[in-house]
């Protein structure tokens, strides 16, 4: 059993706390938040978990083996570094940091201390995404031409980050996971309608070395709640719709074929069957938390490890630069770990 400490009980923190309390392989000993009202609420909900306003108390507690960092994004790097320096394994919510240099230093520190560093890229643990990854790796879809996604809703409007930083990490992480590569360059365009300099709408495109593309459309100013991911391959096409209660994935046997005989410019459109595979659904967050515990217990490398977190951050950083240049493509920052 892994003894857990947690810092940050705001927006997403209670969801992580709920799961780590429920899992049989973990025991949450101490939670930290500066808001007294939040601490009181968590103490009422989980009477067996102590609370504190002092993060140092979490760090100095020798019984605590791992720290869950779910504080504001601006504090992720600081809280993660302190935990690693105190010999703790760390689960940090996305993004790993807001600065690439700081993120790289965290990965180096974790590897030097031989500690697990896992970033909360939740969708990588979604059963439908894992099933989609299986289709891609098995060649079921053929060569991947392009990917596009929509992550839209009316709200939650934030002050501390734009819609891209809030929403796009999910789709970026899935695109990198499915394609098993990092883009060479990124372009992004958007608009700030509600507050100056805080983009409510962003269109982001990633350009990969093999010629494939991945495009993300994110907004918190939209009449529909959409969570959709489309993968177009040379053999088949797949749609992952997370708003569908049962039919999460649809496989389309559709595409364009080149006949063996005939005129060179003759193409044949193929409209085949639509297959709806069964997806064994479990709560992605529960699976993500369990994966962290498994990695700590087994000394294994997480799917969304620190290096993965750095790659997602590199995309976000280049996209932010492009956003400020009104869509001019920006190459990703080269890093050495």
pLDDT tens, position by position, 14-56: 999 999 999 999 999 999 999 999 999 999 999 999 999 999 9
Q: Are 17 and 9 in contact (CB under 8 A)?
A: yes
- Residue pair 64/4 in contact (Cβ under 8 Å)? The answer is yes
- Low-confidence stretches of the chain (pLDDT < 70) are 258-268, 270
**Considering all CA atoms of the chain, what is the largest pairwise distance in Å, rounded to the nearest integer?**
75
Quote the tokens at residue 105.
Answer: 């230093």
- Residue pair 27/2 in contact (Cβ under 8 Å)? The answer is yes
Determine contact, residues 40/32, Cβ cutoff 8 Å: no
Report d(CA 284, CA 227) in Å as an integer: 15
- CA dist 15 and 198 (Å) reads 26
Contact 80, 96 (CB under 8 A): yes
**Whole-angstrom Cα distance, residue 100 to residue 309?**
10
Backbone angles phi, psi at 8, to 5 degrees: 100, 110
pLDDT at 271: 76
Distance CA 191, CA 323 (A): 9
Would you state the pLDDT for residue 242?
A: 98
Rounded CA gap, 65 and 87, in Å?
8
Task: Write down the pLDDT at residue 257.
Answer: 72
Domains of the chain plus CATH, in order, are 2-115 (3.40.50.720), 124-280+315-331 (3.30.360.10)
Q: What angle do CA 186, 188, 194 make, to 5 degrees?
A: 155
- Predicted local distance difference test score (pLDDT) of residue 227: 98
pLDDT at 267: 66
What pLDDT, on a 0 to 100 scale, did the predictor assign at position 160? 86
Tokens at 11, concatenated: 């927006």
State the alpha helices, DSSP H only, in 46-161.
Answer: 55-60, 76-85, 100-113, 127-138
The answer to whether the CB of 10 falls within 8 A of the CB of 33 is: yes
**Quick one: which H or E segment has residue 22?**
helix 13-22
Q: Determine if the peptide bond prior to 35 is cis (ω within 30°).
A: no
Cis before 95 (ω within 30): yes
């Amino acid at each position: 059993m892994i003894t857990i400490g947690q810092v940050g009980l705001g927006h997403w923190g209670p969801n992580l706390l709920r799961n780590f309390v429920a899992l049989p392989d973990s025991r949450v000993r101490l939670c930290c938040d500066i808001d007294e009202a939040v601490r009181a609420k968590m103490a009422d909900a989980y009477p067996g978990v102590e609370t504190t306003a002092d993060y140092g108390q979490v760090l100095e507690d020798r019984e605590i083996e791992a720290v869950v960092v779910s504080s504001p994004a601006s504090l992720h790097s600081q809280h993660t570094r302190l935990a690693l320096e105190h010999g703790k394994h760390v689960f940090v919510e996305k993004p790993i940091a807001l600065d690439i240099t700081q993120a790289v230093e965290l990965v180096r520190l974790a590897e030097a201390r031989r500690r697990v560093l896992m970033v909360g890229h939740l969708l990588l643990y979604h059963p439908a995404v894992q099933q989609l990854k299986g289709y891609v790796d098995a060649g079921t879809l053929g060569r991947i031409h392009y990917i596009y996604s929509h992550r839209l809703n009316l709200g939650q409007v934030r002050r501390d980050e734009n819609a891209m930083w809030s929403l796009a990490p999910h789709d970026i992480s899935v695109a990198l996971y499915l394609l098993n590569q990092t883009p060479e360059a990124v372009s992004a365009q958007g608009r700030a309608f509600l507050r100056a300099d805080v983009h409510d709408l962003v269109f982001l495109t990633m350009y990969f070395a093999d010629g494939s593309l991945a495009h993300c459309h994110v907004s918190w100013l939209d009449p529909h709640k959409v969570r959709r991911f489309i993968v177009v391959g040379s053999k088949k096409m797949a749609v992952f719709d997370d708003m569908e209660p049962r039919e999460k994935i649809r496989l389309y046997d559709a595409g364009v074929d080149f006949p063996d005989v005939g005129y060179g410019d003759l193409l044949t459109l193929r409209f085949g069957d639509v297959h709806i595979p069964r997806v064994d659904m479990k709560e992605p967050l529960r699976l993500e938390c369990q994966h962290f515990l498994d990695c700590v217990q087994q000394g294994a490398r997480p799917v969304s490890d620190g290096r993965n977190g750095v790659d997602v951050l590199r995309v976000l950083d280049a996209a932010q630069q492009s956003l400020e240049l009104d869509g001019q493509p920006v190459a990703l920052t080269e890093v050495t770990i």
